[in-house]
Structure 1
Amino acid sequence: MLTHYIKVSFRELLKYRAQSVVSIIGLAVGFTAFILGGYWLWWETHFDSFHPEADRLYCLTTEGLVKRANGTQADLDQLHINDREELFKLLPEIETSCSFNHLSFTLKQDNETITLHGMESGQSFFELFLTDFIEGTHKGIAPDGSSVILTERTARQLFGTTSCIGKEVALDDNLRPSVAGVIRDYPDNTDLLFDFLLIRTPEPNHVKRMTTYVRLQKSANVAKVRNKLAHYKSHAEDKWDREQVKDWKINLLTASEVHLRCHPELTDRIRNIHILALAGAMAFLSALINLLVLFIGQQQRKQQKNRTYLCVGASTGSMILKGFTELTLPLIIAFMAAFCLIESLYPYYESYTTWNRYGIYENISRHLSRTSLFGNTLSLAGISILAFLLICYYPIRNLLEHKIQRPVLFKQSLIVVQIFIGSLFFITSLGLFRQLHFILSKDKGIDYERVIQVNLGYSTAHQTDLSVLKPEMANHPYVEGVTFTCENAPVFTEQGDWYGSFYSHFCFDANESDPNSNNAVVVTDKDFFSFFNLQLKAGSWPTEA
């Protein structure tokens, strides 16, 4: 009978081909938007969720050191060593902890320069974080810097194989640890970026801070721990009296929250991803309701035929199976079309969703996994079909058994819900377009038409005399003017006021209320003002003299 029902359902699609095509295309587009937006949101909000007992894994972060581009405070995934000692006394809920520092080395191999990013940490790293060993082990290694753990990718890059236990890695002239083990690479959605792990007791950086993760006891009350931190006053040293230690706040963030709150440039990205995921969900829900409305309309037109089926002995169960088949077939066709659409869009999707790191990690990009995307798409398609049919079970049964006294009213109610969702989608889209129009048309005080910003890289910007490059670029026939900042200043970026600038203090009034305030300074080329057509409210631009 099922084969017969499939044939009947397929003929129904052909009979009402205009409705069917519109419905299937709407479902395919809606599901594509839903999965692309939803998976991206899931990926961004599940960083480092793959570690063992990740629900008890937290990072102690410092708020008050970093600002976002919009001026609000962000977190920094570092903790001053004085605060580390005090907090471990204050929080008996901490079961175990791990502190580490970031390292970076440039190696020469076969006339090729290889940059390796790593971390130094003791044995506690293996207690908190995932380490799936392919070769070797960490057990029994003294934390003296004589041994190193490589990732699988790094081992193949340096030695061409993962069977490299005991071989030496010349990180620099004074540091030549031997390989003690090789672990599998982490997924891309991680903030623990390392090519190697140097087993060595970590030393604080030049500002006496380290990245510190803790695992709380199973019985720990996280709300109480956070309440203790809210009343905690930092014990960090402030020998220059400039870092406003009194305003620092120590926060307890989950491993996934570290990604969302410790990268100032991601604030707008995360907000827009939420909007995209919500828009995709509304589009998909609207398409499903539209499919149900069309199905009800078809059943109304076939009431006499359905009564005949029941009169000649067809059971209610078989009629429900027939109805489900008619409802499921366009869903399956739409999902197949969505798979093709996702496959064709994936290269653009991957490029658009790539997260490019900055600073010492500027050459590292994070990508959404293609395999995971399609695996989740397949799972979600099956779940969507089952959930939709379960939700529709009683309405369909009552409709086929004629228990819905006013099916027209039920159908009209669904149409009203669909119109409401469509209107909400339209209003949201209108708001986004108005915001985009505002961004493009608002006078920002600078003329940025036909301007291209060239990022020369973190290292280059600190080591190169850009005044030599300026006349070379100006000689290009299509270049009208050139200016530069002495660092990667955040002129058109969202990385906050701490990246590409330095802090100083301008005291123009001896009686000012806060003589210890900081002013972010961007050092620019002399043509910077005229290049962007900047207008002064008062005074005049500095002259050559």
Structure 2
Amino acid sequence: MIQHYCKIAFRNILKYKIQSIISIIGLAVGFTCFALSNLWIHYEITYDKFYEGVERTHLLYQEATFSESTFSTYSSYMLATTLRQEFPEVEAACAVYQRETGLKTKEGKTAKVNCMYADSTFLEMFQPTSILSGSMEFLYSNNKIALTEETAMSLFGSTEVLGQEIEANDAPKTVCAILKNVEKHSNLYFAAWTMSSQFQKEKSEWGVHRFQTYVRLRKGVDATSFQEKMKNYESGNQWYPKPLEKYKIIPLTQYHYSAINEKLTLKFNYLVLFSIASGMIILCALFNYLSLFITRMHTRNREIELRKVCGSSIRNLFILFGTEYLFVLLLSGLLGMTFIELSLPKFRELSEINGNIYGESFLYFIGILFISYILLIPFIVRRYYRQSGNLFLFRKCSIVFQLIICILSLVGTLN
């Protein structure tokens, strides 16, 4: 019986091949765009999620003095010291300085990498990596440096490089440790870690703002109340009586896609709008096909009545029409997966993101199937019991709905 239904479904798709092809392509394109945009959104909102206690970790920032619409995340090292010593609500705090640094070996091999300048407080707070070989001297000496596996392989072609001499921005350094590669899905990614005499000097100066300050609050501490307490803190320093007054905090997991991130290359709300637009494309294609499918059901009245006379139940009719309906949805899903597979390498190259898209895409497709069949059931029930009503009401509503979606999409694009 199922084989019979499949044959009928396939014949009807061929009979209305132009309508079927348009519906299949429309659903596939919408499905592809929706899956890719949601992969990107998921990647953005999961930055730094792997750190322990990240839900209580915040970055300090303030509004820049030269513009009301811009922000600065730079602060004095003394800010982290004050937070650790004066605020019992703080579980841990550290100051970090990162910059692009040119590394050069004696053989002339060079690399531009993101270099971390931080002391042991950063390691205690985040534990971003582990030492594979060597010692912790790079935390205390100005002429020592630690390289990640990836950086060591890039410069020397090996990780057995302890004691090797390199130049970091023309300053001589000795490799004293090899670190496990750092997770790139992080605002705190680095490829080398060292110290400098300038870092040590600026640790006790309020006036130098080159560090980013991170704070992890204790469990149960309200972030808003803590921010208000910072605002009212008085240091007793005549030059900086209220050094924390202008600072605010933002959860570390929200920083990457927020307007505060000065390195942001694409506004997060654009990704959300693109995802919404993709969802609208799916809805338009789905309602368009459903409208055409229901119209076809009306033209098959004689076939339906003959099947009822021959003993077909509502269940049999649902399997008949559901099989044909499922064929189009499955074909659109397969075509959508093909589009994803073809576009994914270029998408990863342009966006520089990773992640498993196929698991989530399958869930999206199951959701589309579920919604589609929920919409189809009442029309099959009506056809079986020959209930009266405006036969083209749904089609009219469908056209109006698609028109509204198109207008909203145009307005959103213009804005």
TM-score (norm 1): 0.62
Task: Note the 1:63-212 alignment, pairs <5 A.
Answer: 63-64=63-64, 71-88=67-84, 91-102=87-98, 104-129=101-126, 131=128, 133=130, 135-136=132-133, 143-145=139-141, 148-162=145-159, 164=160, 166-168=162-164, 170-171=166-167, 175-179=173-177, 181-187=178-184, 189-198=185-194, 203=200, 204=202, 207-212=208-213
Which of 425, 437, 443 aligns to 2:409? It is 425
Match of 1:301 in 2: 299
Distance 1:347 1:390 in 2: 30
Q: Secondary structure at the match of 2:216?
A: strand
- Matching residue of 1:336: 334
Q: CA deviation at 1:319?
A: 4.2
Aligned equivalents of 2:60 and 2:265: distance in 1?
A: 20
- Tell me how far apart the structure 2 counterparts of residues 80 and 310 of structure 1 sit (CA, whole Å): 81
Matched residue of 1:261: which SS? coil
* SS, match of residue 183 in structure 2: coil
Deviation at 1:385, TM superposition (A): 2.6
Deviates more, 1:320-329 or 1:93-102: 320-329
Determine the structure 2 residue equivalent to 1:23.
23
- Tell me the matched-pair count: 400
1:10–1:130 CA distance, 2 compared to 1 (3 A) = farther
- What is the RMSD of the two structures over their aligned residues, measured on CA atoms? 3.9
Distance 2:86 2:56 in 1: 18
What's 2:363 paired with? Answer: 383
Which structure is richer in relative contact order (CA contacts within 8 A, separation 6 or more)?
2
- The verdict on how the C-alpha distance between 1:4 and 1:222 changes in structure 2, with shifts beyond 3 A counting, is farther
Cα deviation for residue 60 of structure 1 reads 1.7
SS at match of 2:92: strand
Contact 2:81 2:94 in 1 (8 A): no
User: Is contact 2:145-2:173 (8 Å) kept?
Assistant: no
Conservation of the 8 A alpha-carbon contact between 1:131 and 1:184: no
Superposed displacement of residue 343, structure 1: 5.0
Distance in 2 (alpha carbons) for counterparts of 1:108 and 1:62: 39
Give the AA of the match of 1:153. E
TM-score (norm 2): 0.79
Note the C-alpha offset of 1:118: 1.3
SS where residue 285 of structure 2 aligns? helix
Post-superposition offset of 1:157: 1.2
Q: Judge which range, 40-49 or 262-271, deviates more.
A: 262-271
Confirm or deny: 8 A CA contact 2:27 2:332 kept in the other structure.
yes
Q: Which residue of 2 aligns with 1:217?
A: 218
> What's the CA shift for 1:290?
1.9
2:399 matched to which residue of 1?
415
Which string of whole-angstrom CA distances, capped at 9 and with x for unpartnered residues, describes residues 321-363 of structure 1? 4444323322232233334444555576567x55xxxxxxxxx
**Aligned with 1:368 (options 353, 363, 371):** 353
1:217-261 CA deviation, whole Å, 9 max, x = no partner?
A: 3322233334444x447869997x9xxx99972121122332223
Return the offset for 1:147: 6.4
- Is the alpha carbon distance of 1:147 and 1:109 closer, same or farther for their aligned partners in structure 2, counting shifts above 3 Å? closer
Question: For 1:380 and 1:294, how far apart are their aligned partners in 2?
Answer: 29
Range 21-30 or range 145-154, more displaced:
145-154
- Hey, what does 1:400 align to over in structure 2? 380
- Return the letter of the residue paired with 2:58: Y
1:255 pairs, out of 252, 255, 261, with 252
CA distance in 1 between counterparts of 2:119 and 2:285 reads 54
Q: Percent identity?
A: 23
SS at match of 1:175: strand
> What is the CA deviation profile of residues 181-206 of structure 1, one whole-angstrom value per residue up to 9, with x for unaligned ones?
4313423x432241112389964478
Partners of 1:93 and 1:220 within 8 A in 2: yes
Give the equivalent residue in structure 1 for 2:325: 327
